[in-house]
Amino acid sequence: MKKHLGPVQAASAAVDFPSLIGLVEHFVNRKIVVLGDFVADEYQAGEISRVSREAPVLILRHRETQLFPGGGANAVNNLADLGARVLPVSVVGDDAAGQALIEYFHSKRVNVSGIVRARGWTTPVKTRFLAGWAHTVRQQVLRVDREPNGLPPESARKKLQLKLGKFLRSADALAVCDYGFGVASPALIRAVLASRKGKLVSTLDARCNLTAYAGTGITSATPNEPELENLHHTAIGQNWKELERCGRTTLSEMKLSALLVTRGRDGMALFEAGMPTAQIAIYGSDQAVDVTGAGDTVLAAYTLALASGASFPEAAHIASIAGGLVVMKRGTATVRRGELLDAMRREVTGS
């Protein structure tokens, strides 16, 4: 079902889909550098066989294990599927999960020379256990996270800065994904953006350190509403005035050109200095199948659109459509450029 959002739905009716299609068609070969924490999203799937005699827990008969790029690696994966020439810069451990991520991107012909392997460091892994009866949809019953004990080694971070500076010389945009594992930092962003000649489109998705990036030169950030609430110690919900206050304060404090706040089934809110706040409706159904990694898809589409010459409202609408498509897929997923174009063309033809 589709939720009726009143004035928010009306805002989406004015979208110039032919113009958006033209922008997406220019996604191909845009060079996007992604600096961020790589995470391995592992899925252990099985069928429920019985309840254990040892404890009141389910016994799963294991059927398959799958591993997908998560965190900043998911943003890289989305950019690659949207047609960009993506250059990932990150640190992974000298372990099976780190090797699996490198092999995954190598198989997709993504340049992996910017991925540093650090001995003794642990690649973050999120393991989700999916269970179901035969012929039923599997549901997540447990998640186990394995995380590094500290920051990547200093030697790895020095290599990271060198690779980042090299890649940015010819980049169309930079996307930063800070999941709190120490790959991205405000000091690093400030240093590399200050040393680059000319302004570079740069976007930020920071889970818990957003305002630390104030004044670093970041163009735009894409927090979700709970992250904005945590930042300002408040609850927003349907209180538009509170959303406006938090958004405007963050935009000003961080010296951003734009702030895009994702709000789940309530769509998005785009803040620009000197412009009225734009409300952007969700695309498609408000009954999401799985929101895992949706923020990475939004960041990827938004960044690539800006690098292709889109205005902030145009980029936000493209990101909204991409996000609406990806939440209808199970697990950590991506949106391909062809899917995005097909969705926009259906809006034009009404089919």
Look up the pTM and report it. Answer: 0.91
Give dist(CA 325, CA 305) in Å, integer. 16
**Please, is 277 exposed, middle or buried when counting C-beta atoms within 10 Å of its C-beta (0-12, 13-18, 19+)?**
middle
CA atoms 189, 190, 196, 197: torsion sign: positive
Backbone torsions φ then ψ of 8, nearest 5 degrees: -70, -40
Write phi, then psi, for 157 (nearest 5 degrees): -70, -35
Residue 130 and residue 43 in contact, taking contact as beta carbons nearer than 8 Å: yes
Whether residue 124 lies inside any domain: the answer is no
Q: Which two tokens stand for residue 20?
A: 């958006």
**Model pLDDT, residue 4:** 32
Active-site annotation holds for 296: yes
Task: Give the whole-angstrom CA distance, residue 290 versus residue 288.
Answer: 6
Task: Note the pLDDT of residue 292.
Answer: 72
Listed in sequence order, the residues at least 6 apart from 9 whose beta carbon sits closer than 8 Å to its beta carbon are 281
Question: Which is nearest to 277 in space by CA: 325, 230, 242, 329?
Answer: 242
| Structural domain span for residue 337 | 7-37+71-115+151-349
| Tens of pLDDT, residue by residue, the chain (351 residues) | 343 333 333 344 478 899 999 999 999 989 999 999 999 999 999 998 889 999 998 889 999 999 999 999 999 999 999 999 999 999 999 999 999 999 999 999 999 999 999 999 999 999 999 998 777 788 899 999 999 999 999 999 999 999 999 999 999 999 999 999 999 999 999 999 988 877 899 999 998 889 999 999 999 999 999 999 999 999 999 999 999 999 999 999 999 999 999 998 899 999 999 999 999 988 876 666 767 778 899 999 999 999 999 999 999 999 999 999 998 888 788 999 999 999 999 988 876
**Distance (Å, whole) CA 288 – CA 284:** 9
The verdict on residue 156 lying in a domain is yes
Indicate the helix (H) or strand (E) that contains 302. Answer: helix 294-307
Residue 58 lies in a domain: no
Instruction: Give residue for tokens 């680059």.
Output: 196
Calpha distance 1→32 (Å, rounded): 36
Residue 272 lies in a domain: yes
Domain membership flag for residue 137? no
- Radius of gyration for the chain, computed over Cα atoms and rounded to the nearest angstrom: 20
179 within domain boundaries? yes
Residue with tokens 């640190």: 91
> Whole-angstrom Cα distance, residue 287 to residue 327?
9
Select which of 95, 205, 286, 296 is catalytic: 296
What's 27's domain CATH number?
Answer: 3.40.1190.20
How far is Cα 297 from Cα 299, in angstroms, rounded to an integer?
A: 5
Residue 108 falls within a domain, yes or no? yes
Number of domains in the chain: 1
In a domain, 338, yes or no: yes
- Amino acid symbol at 110: V
